[in-house]
Chain A
Amino acid sequence: MTGPASDLIRAGQRLTPWRWWLDPASWAALPAALRQEPALELLALWAEARTVHAAFRLGPELLLASVAAADGAYPALSPARPGAILFERAIADLWGLRAEGAVDARPWLDHGAWAAARPLAVQGQGGGAAAAPLPALPVGGERPQPVFLPAEGEGVHQVPVGPVHAGVIESGHFRFHVQGEAVVRLEARLGYKHRGLIGLMLGRTPRAAARYAARISGDSTVALAWAFAAAAEAATSLVPPPRALLLRGVMAELERIANHLNDWAALCGDAAFLWPQARLGALREGVLRACDAAFGHRLMMDRLVPGGVSIDIAPSGPDRLLAALAVVGAELPALRRICEEHASLQDRLAGTGVARPELVAAYAAGGFVGRASGRDFDVRRDLPYAPYAGLEIAVAGAAAGDVEARLAVRIEELARSLELVGTLLARLEPGETLLPLPGKGGEGIGLVEGFRGEVFCWMALDEAGLIRGLFPRDPSWLHWPLLEAAMEGNILADFPLCNKSFNASYSGVDL
C-alpha cells in the first residue's frame, strides 16, 4: 500500500526494516501528505533526547519515522492527525521538545510539581534530581490554575470534578462547561498520577524494567507487559517457547474476560440496575480466583516477562480456569438477555455518549471504542502474532458508537474469549516457558491486542542490552479525546455511564 505520506516516509534513510530517518524538510511536509492519506493511521508519537519518533499503521504494515529536533523544536503533526495532540503535549513536558504549529501547546503531564522540568531532555539521565524538595503548598492560597478551553453562550457555567472523585476511581480532573443540563464541552486534565515511568525504565535491562511495564496500568498488566516483552524480544531476535506463547494468550484472554465482566457490571451499577452488577461482579471474582490458582496472582501481574512467562501454569490451573469460565458461559446468555431487554437499562445506554465514526477513524481509536463505531480492527486478526496466528478470530463490531454499542461489543468479545481460553489451553504441550534474553543491542516493536485495544511499545537497547529509548502506548491515549467529544450534548448525569463505557486508563496515559 502506498500514498503521499507513506511514500514520503519510505523516501527517508532506512534505519531498520520499519523505521526511516527523515530530514526536517521531509517531516515538515508530512502533515500535508497525511491529509491526503487518511488510511495512514497514527499509532503513537514520542521522543528521545533531541529526536522525535512517530509510529503509523498502513493496513498490515507498521512504519516509523524519526526526525532530529535540532533546536528543540519539530513540525507538529496535530494539524493533520488529532490523535497527535496529547502526544505533542507530553513530549514538550517530558523531553522539552516543542511542536511548531501544534493545535494545542498547553502543558499536559507537568503540573509544576516535579523535581525537574523536562526530566528526559538529557539522554541517559533517566530523570534524576529526585531529591529536590516538594514545592510548598501555598498556605491559604491557590496554585496557578490550569487553562481550559473556553465555551461561550448564555448561561454557560463550569463544573470542576476531581482529581479526587466520589467513588473509588483513579485520579484525574474533568472540567465541564454546562448549559442547563447539557454538557457543552468536557475537558479531561490528566497527569496527576505521573510517576516518571519512562525515566525509571531507561538504563535498565528489559527483565528489570518489566516490573514497571506490568504497572503502567494494573487492569491491563498482561497486555502492557506483553507489548513490552514483545518489543524486547524483537530487539534481541528472541522467540519465546511455544508453551510460553500459549500461556500468554491464555492470560491475555482472561484479562479481557475479567475486565469486560467488571465494566459490564459497573455500567449496570451506574444505571441503577443492581442485580446484574452483583451477579457479574461475583462471576468476575470467580475468574480472578481461578487466575490466582492457575498463575499465583489474581491480576497475573509479573507473570508475563521478556523471554516468556515467569511461572508455568499450576497443574490444577487448566481445570480451575475452565470451571470458572464454564460458570460465566452458563450465565452469560441470561444476563445478556436481561440487559438487552430491560427497558430502564436500555433507556440509559442507547443513544448516550455517541463517538462519531468519522472522529473515531480520525483518531484511529482501537479496541471496543473503535469497533463500536465501525472501525473493524483487531491486532489478533489483522497483524496476527503467536499464539493467535492461525486461529479464527471473529471480531465483534457495531456502528452506533453509543454506550450500548460499546457494551454490546464487549459482551460479544467476552463470549469469544471464553472459547479462546479453552482452545489455547487444549494446545498446551509440555516444554520450556522462559528463555534468557540475550544482552545485546537492537530495536523492536510490540503490538498486541489488550482489552482496551491495541497496545504499542517501541524499545531501543544499547550495546550492553540496556534500555536506551522506550515508549509504551496504552490505547487510552486515543480514547480520552473521544470521550470528551462523546459527552457533547449529553447531560452531566450521564457522565459516569459514558466514562465507564470507554473506561480509559488514567495511569496508562499519565505514565
Chain B
Amino acid sequence: MAMLWPRMLRGLRRPLTDPAPAAPEATVAALSERLEQAARRRLGRSLAIRHVDSGSCNGCELELNALHGAVYDLERFGLRFVASPRHADVLLATGPASRNMVEALLRTHAAMPEPKWVVAVGDCALGGGLFAGSYAVADGVDAVLPVDLVIPGCPPSPTLLLEGLLALLGAQREPPPAAPPPRAEPRLEEGPEEGPEPPDEAGAPGPRMERDA
C-alpha cells in the first residue's frame, strides 16, 4: 500500500492537457440562432469534421494538427476529424479558395449529409485575405460555399480554433435564447420520419452552390 503513494502523487501532478477554453458567448448565441432543433437532436454533443485545404500556406494545418495532441486533446470535447465527407457534420476549410480547389470543395460539401456546416479557418478563408484579386483564387471560401463560422487568425492558434469549434458545440447544447420565428423560405423536402421540423439550413447565407446553377 505504501508503495502506491508515490505513484498516486505523481498522478496528481498538473495534467499535460490544457484546461478547456471558454467558447465566446456572442458567437454561441449567433450560431444557436442558425441551428435548428432537428440538428441538435440528431448530432448530440459531437461534431465530425472534414478538413479541406482550399489553398492555405499550410500554417493552419500545423495548428489544426496540434489539436490532436495531448496538450489540446480535441476528442475530449466530442470533436474529431474524419476521413470521409460522408461521416462529417462540418466542412472546415483553410486558405483562400484557390480556383484549382473549387471543384473539390463543392464535391466534398455535396458529399456531406445534412445538416452540415461550413467553418472557414484563417484570415484568407473569408474574402481571400492577402490573395484576393489573384487570377488563381476565387477569393474566399465564402465565394464558393455558405460559411457558418469564421475562425480568424494567421494562423489561428490551437486555442482560438478550439474556442471556435466549442462555440459550434455550445450552439447545439443550449436552446436558442428565444424560440426562432418560423421561416418564410421554401421548405426542403423532408422525409416522413422527420415530422414537422423546420428545414435544415434553408436560412444559411451565402451564394450556396450558386455556381452550379
Q: What residues of chain A have their CB less than 8 Å away from a CB belonging to chain B? A: 111, 113-116, 119, 127-130, 132, 134, 136-137, 139, 143, 163-164, 166-171, 191-196, 199-200, 211-212, 215-219, 221, 262, 278-279, 281-282, 284-285, 288, 292, 298-299, 301, 505-507, 510
Assess A282 versus B16: contact at CB under 8 Å? Given A192-B98, A194-B100, A196-B134. Answer: yes
CB pairs A–B below 8 angstroms (24 shown): A113-B103, A130-B133, A130-B135, A134-B99, A137-B102, A137-B106, A137-B211, A139-B212, A164-B104, A169-B53, A193-B55, A193-B95, A195-B95, A195-B136, A200-B134, A215-B57, A215-B130, A221-B59, A278-B70, A279-B70, A281-B66, A285-B66, A285-B71, A298-B63
Q: Which of A111, A128, A163, A171 has the most CB of B within 10 A?
A: A171
The answer on a CB contact under 8 Å between A218 and B157 is no
Give me the 3 closest cross-chain CB pairs, A-B, nearest first: A218-B59, A196-B136, A196-B134
Q: Known: A167-B81, A192-B98, A281-B71. Contact between A199 and B134, CB under 8 A?
A: yes
Which residue among B54, B103, B135, B138 has the maximum number of chain A CB atoms within 10 Å of its CB? B135
Closest chain-B Cβ to A113's Cβ sits at a distance in Å of 4
Cβ contact within 8 Å between B100 and A113: yes
Say if the beta carbon of B101 comes within 8 Å of chain A: yes
- Alpha-carbon distance between A221 and B61 when the two chains are bound, in angstroms: 14
- When chains A and B are docked, how far (Å) is the Cα of A424 from the Cα of B69? 30
What separation, in Å, do the CA atoms of A146 and B95 have in the docked complex?
24
B98 touches A193 (CB 8 A): yes
A221 to B137, CA, bound (A): 21
Q: Which residue of A lies closest to B143 (CB)?
A: A134
| A137 close to B103 (CB less than 8 A) | yes
B58–A192 CB distance below 8 A: no
Q: Please, which residues of chain B bring their CB within 8 A of the CB of A137?
A: 102-103, 106, 211-212
Contacts of B138 in A (CB 8 A): 134
Residues of B within 8 A of A (CB): 16, 50-66, 68-71, 81, 83-85, 95-96, 98-104, 106, 108, 130-131, 133-138, 154-155, 157, 211-212
Contact present for A285 and B56 (CB under 8 Å):
no
B135 touches A127 (CB 8 A): yes
Interface centre among B60, B69, B83 (most CB of A within 10 A): B69
Q: Are A170 and B61 closer than 8 Å at their CB atoms?
A: yes
Cβ-Cβ contact count across A and B, 8 Å cutoff = 162
A215 to B98, CA, bound (A): 14
Given contacts A168-B61, A507-B55, 12 further A-B contacts (CB under 8 A): A113-B100, A119-B135, A129-B135, A137-B103, A164-B52, A196-B136, A200-B130, A200-B131, A215-B57, A217-B57, A288-B66, A510-B98
Contact of B99 among A115, A167, A217 (CB under 8 A): A115
A110, chain B: closest CB distance, angstroms: 8
Q: How far is the CA of A285 from the CA of B66 in the complex (A)?
A: 8
> Please, how many angstroms separate the alpha-carbon atoms of A298 and B66 in the complex?
12
CB neighbours (8 Å) of B60 from chain A are 218
Contact: B58 with A506, CB < 8 Å?
A: yes
Known contacts A111-B100, A115-B135; decide if A217 and B58 are in contact (CB<8 Å).
Answer: yes
Complex contact B155–A299 (CB within 8 A): yes
Which A residues are CB-close (under 8 A) to B211? 134, 136-137
Q: Are A170 and B212 in contact (CB under 8 A)?
A: no
Docked CA distance A176–B159 (Å)? 38
Query: Chain B residues near A200 (CB, 8 Å)?
Result: 130-131, 133-134
Are A171 and B53 neighbours in the complex by a CB distance under 8 Å? Answer: yes
Whether the pair A168, B64 counts as a contact (CB closer than 8 A) is: yes
Establish whether residues B70 and A193, one from each chain, have CB atoms under 8 Å apart when the complex forms: no
